[in-house]
Amino acid sequence: MPRDRVRERITSLDVARRAGVSQSAVSRTFTPDSSVSAKTAEKVRQAAAELSYRPNILARSLITGKSHIIGVLVSYLDNFFYPDALEKLSNTLQSHGYHVLIFMAAQSKNSAGEVRQSDNSDDAAAIDKIVGEILDYQVDGIILASISLSSTLAAQCQAAGVPVILFNRSQSGDYISSVTSDNFAGGIKVGEYLAQTGHKRPAYIAGLATASTQRDREAGFMTALAAAKLTLYWRGEGHYDYDAAARAARIMAALDPLPDAVFIANDHMTFAVMDVLRYECGLSVPDDISVIGYDDVLVSSWPAYNLTTVRQPADEMVAETVSLLLKQIDEGQSDVVRKAIDGPLILRGSCRTQQA
């Protein structure tokens, strides 16, 4: 059945015959940067249109070594930062003549049944397997969003001449390029701002322990608190998960006295925390407790949350990721580059601006 379909397809030979030119002339007409006279190209295009012929990009990729496909591996799209980034990545790559082949990493669940992002070590083997599949598609490059890669597989990609960029994650070792926001600097901004605005009992709700974003945001926050001679009053864990963050908020709300501020490692968890504080505990944000998040996703600007948060500069992160990837594809180079782009603290209504 499939073979019949292949045989029925109009080939470049059919077009060549109709146009009265060589098959090679047809191929050159449809290959960017190939040499063919305007007159020949016109005859070929005319014949191709009459026959409804379309060049076979996959066949061409075997000759040129370019599929113009970028493999993108994402672990989940619940956190609104990722669909937004995926849309921007797709649009930007498309404007450069590339397309995104999506691979979803299987989600593992912890004992509480929460969805966990797949950058914990249990999932390393599964991620490596999927990246192997991505390589099978002869992609020109790979972007891993919120996912890490084993050193073995990074080496394998390098051997295959396929550049890999981590998006919104970095990892230790010197074998893989990454583009993130400057999460450490972002954490510092939050700590400094809470100190400046007179908060005395700052709390923190952490993201997924294995994620570089979690580690760097908390490290920056703690550094700023120490510089301001403030002590962390309470620490909870939300694993970048909505339900886990809601549970952490319930524990926090029972403290006496209540923290006067809480920094939460991403906006997605912050929505859960604010909803628990307001609708379960009857607390007011920011009158009873100030709340600051991280990401500045679309919903954060909506009046229902009106969230003070550190903006991840998604446009710049995407532009840098694509630019770096295309450079590595074009030049065949694979120097390891680590970009951390500064993002501003966006002041809205969820954090009080004056001493209580």
Binding residues for a second copy, per CB under 8 A? 1-6, 8-9, 52, 54-59, 61-62, 64-67, 69, 76-78, 80, 82-84, 86-87, 90-91, 94, 99-104, 132, 135-138, 156, 159-161, 271-272, 274-275, 278-280, 298-299, 302-305, 330-332
In the bound complex, what is the minimum distance in angstroms from residue 279's beta carbon to a second copy? 4
Output 218 or 241, the one with its CB closest to a second copy: 241
Output 37 or 301, the one with its CB closest to a second copy: 301
In the bound complex, what is the minimum distance in angstroms from residue 68's beta carbon to a second copy? 9
Cis peptide leading into 257, omega within 30 of 0? yes
In the bound complex, what is the minimum distance in angstroms from residue 84's beta carbon to a second copy? 7
Output 158 or 223, the one with its CB closest to a second copy: 158
Output 94 or 196, the one with its CB closest to a second copy: 94
Quote the CA–CA distance of 21 and 13 in Å, as a whole number: 9
Radius of gyration of the chain (CA): 25
In the bound complex, what is the minimum distance in angstroms from residue 64's beta carbon to a second copy? 6
In the bound complex, what is the minimum distance in angstroms from residue 350's beta carbon to a second copy? 12
In the bound complex, what is the minimum distance in angstroms from residue 215's beta carbon to a second copy? 26
- Give the residue among 274, 118, 272 at the shortest CA–CA distance from 210: 118
Instruction: Tell me if 23 sits within 8 A of 16, measured CB to CB.
Output: yes
In the bound complex, what is the minimum distance in angstroms from residue 107's beta carbon to a second copy? 9
Q: What is the dihedral of CA 113, 114, 116, 121, to 10 degrees?
A: -40
Output 230 or 248, the one with its CB closest to a second copy: 248
Output 223 or 334, the one with its CB closest to a second copy: 334
- Give the residue among 45, 97, 92, 37 at the shortest CA–CA distance from 66: 97
Q: Which amino acid is at 318?
A: V
SS3 label, residue 284:
coil
Quote the CA–CA distance of 110 and 122 in Å, as a whole number: 11
Q: Which pairs count as long-range contacts for 224-230, CB under 8 Å and 24+ apart, including other chains?
A: 224/187, 224/188, 224/189, 224/190, 224/191, 224/192, 224/195, 225/191, 225/194, 225/195, 227/191, 227/192, 228/191, 228/192, 228/195, 230/191, 230/194, 230/195, 230/199, 230/200, 230/202
Output 73 or 225, the one with its CB closest to a second copy: 73
SS3 label, residue 345:
strand
Quote the CA–CA distance of 308 and 122 in Å, as a whole number: 34
In the bound complex, what is the minimum distance in angstroms from residue 24's beta carbon to a second copy? 17
Quote the CA–CA distance of 283 and 257 in Å, as a whole number: 13
